[in-house]
Amino acid sequence: MNILFLCTANIQRSKTAEELFRALDNSNEYRSAGLSAKYVNKAGSTLCTEEMLKWADKVYVFEIEHIKRIHKHTGDVFISKIVNLDIADQYSYFQRELILTLLEKCKF
């Protein structure tokens, strides 16, 4: 399965999720990206593209706002493959609490 993690800037939440699950589970392919061109450009991280959304079998976002942003640009095309993890932007990259929350909420 192709799994895509999307947050705002792709420097903390989604990047942690991609790297964590890639290390734990090689039965799936994992990628991550950010949904804000402003923050992605500032951080030098990866911006989500429509090609990435097409590639993914499952898309995990971290806030309802991320779903709204995808819907604004692509309509209902990808809505059925999106899961909101509901994890606030309050964690650092690979912070222990973020890892534990991801392990609890992500079921593939």
Q: pLDDT tens digit string along 28-53?
A: 999 999 999 999 999 999 999 999 99
Name the pTM for this structure: 0.97
pLDDT reported for residue 7: 98
**What radius of gyration do the chain's Cα atoms show?**
13
The boundaries of the domain holding residue 27 are: 2-105
Contact 71, 61 (CB under 8 A): no
Say yes or no to pLDDT of 108 above 80: no
pLDDT reported for residue 23: 96
How far, in Å, CA of 75 to CA of 68, rounded? 9
Question: Smallest Cα–Cα separation from 56: which of 80, 81, 22?
Answer: 81
CATH of residue 96: 3.40.50.2300
How far, in Å, CA of 47 to CA of 26, rounded? 24
Contact 71, 77 (CB under 8 A): no
pLDDT digits (tens, 9 = 90+) for 60-103: 999 999 999 999 999 999 999 999 999 999 999 999 999 999 99
Domain count across the chain: 1
